[in-house]
Amino acid sequence: MAYSIDAYGYPLGFKVKDGNANSSLTLNQQGREVIKVEACHLLGHQREAILTEGGGAAWRLTSDEGLHLKGTDLAPFPFGYFNAGLQADLLNRIRFYSHQFETPLTDLSIKVENEYWLLGSFVSGNGKGVANPSQIEIELNSDFSDQQMIQLVNAAMSASPSMAFLRNVLESTFSLTINGRRKLLNELMDPMVAVPKDPFLEYSAPIRPLNSVKDELEIIRKLPIKEAGEVTIAPPGSSSKIIRIIKGKGKFLDASGKTEIESWLKLPGMSHFLFVSDEGASTSAPSGLGLLSAGIAFCFITQIARYIENMKLDVDAIRLVQLIPFSISGDVNETSNIGAAEPIQTHLFLNGSLSEEMFEKLLTMSARTCYLHATAMNSLPPKMKVMHNGRELLM
């Protein structure tokens, strides 16, 4: 789809469909839901996606890269979505257990830092994305004991599907459709299920907002804040680590469950972006799990586009359908909830004149260099810091 994300004057994110039910996971109920992301590459490094959550509500989301990757910096970078999703989901679980344990908080905020790095290069074909454990800092104030706050945070961490995504090893699966025909893979694991409908066929015209409700049109915003310094173009590879640090901070906007998350890439000249998630019952914005899922899909498309760009390959029309099941279940005694995430299932569609072997190499390289697939395929329990009434707790 050869148009810019701002071609029609629409916001960076908006609702396109009402659901037939609330997401059970957002409401902290036991159950299993699959979050679907149908994403397409647009111009340059711009992408758009339709995010559909378990209850059926759907949003159109957009992503771009900063000037360091020769993007236009119009919309959030993929890591920003992932960072915001982690924050929103964990805030949701903490809020829920503060009610469950009857330990109301007078203040609650969160900071999350992610670190990724690239070894090797796209050009030489030996690039590899690596993720380090996320650093999470929670600040809460209350009239209750430190031990009660430790119990609350531990329960929230255990029940959070996003934290399970970080902790557990999840072997991603992939399918590849070339010029309308599926190719069986030789290296990556194929899910061996039917391929979903091609996003180009599913969405043949530009997506429009469902309505003009202000809250549903301002779920993603670019802030007038930039990191100090001048932008430097990122190389396609290096003999040493190319490190990327993503920072974010978040809080609840109101008692209904809406969160507001600010996220940015810690590099000179990088813009800050604001995300709103709805962790309550109104579905006015995506959930944290939805934002996290969109970030993974956008990141994967970035790796494909960068490899095509650096290798000057005759490939176009990048699109994918990504499915991630998340769940919440009771422990053996049914006294607490356990969050879980299942492997990412990605169905990639490509057009072009390459050989089948080269198309598969493109998929394999992209999977290997995608930092968020690297996060999924490794056990990376987060490093936690919890502050209660200004004192650090020993977790």
> What does each of the 395 residues of the chain score in pLDDT, given as a tens digit?
678 898 899 999 999 999 888 899 999 999 999 999 999 999 989 999 999 998 889 999 999 998 888 889 999 999 999 999 999 999 999 999 999 999 999 999 999 999 999 888 766 778 889 999 999 999 999 999 999 999 999 999 999 999 999 999 999 999 999 999 999 999 999 999 999 999 999 998 888 999 887 777 889 999 999 999 998 887 766 656 778 999 999 999 988 899 999 999 999 999 999 999 999 888 899 999 999 999 999 999 999 998 898 889 999 899 999 999 999 999 876 678 999 999 999 999 999 999 999 999 999 999 999 999 999 999 999 999 999 999 999 98
What are the structure tokens assigned to 237, written together? 């590879």
- Tell me which amino acid residue 44 is: G
pLDDT tens-digit map of 190-244: 999 999 999 999 998 888 999 887 777 889 999 999 999 998 887 766 656 778 9
Indicate the CATH number of 13-287+297-392 among 3.20.20.70, 3.40.720.10, 3.30.300.20, 3.90.1150.10. Answer: 3.30.300.20
What are the structure tokens assigned to 53, written together? 């959550």
pLDDT at residue 267, as a whole number: 94
pLDDT at residue 329, as a whole number: 96
pLDDT tens-digit map of 254-276: 888 999 999 999 999 999 999 99
Any idea where the domains of the chain sit in the sequence?
Answer: 13-287+297-392
Contact 55, 20 (CB under 8 A): yes
pLDDT at residue 237, as a whole number: 62
Longest dimension (CA), the chain: 66
Query: Among 259, 317, 269, which Cα is nearest to 291's?
Result: 259
Please state the length of the chain. Answer: 395
Residues with Cβ within 8 Å of residue 365, at least 6 apart in sequence: 122, 125, 127, 303, 307
pLDDT at residue 243, as a whole number: 87
pLDDT at residue 1, as a whole number: 61
pLDDT tens-digit map of 362-394: 999 999 999 999 999 999 999 999 999 999 999
pLDDT at residue 29, as a whole number: 94
Report the interhelical angle of 146-159 vs 78-100 (nearest 10°).
Answer: 130
Q: What is the DSSP letter of 1?
A: -
Contact 105, 97 (CB under 8 A): no
Helices (H), the chain: 78-100, 146-159, 161-167, 199-202, 214-217, 288-311, 356-369, 371-376
**Cα(229)–Cα(329) distance, integer angstroms:** 47
Calculate Rg over the CA atoms of the chain: 20
pTM, entire model: 0.96
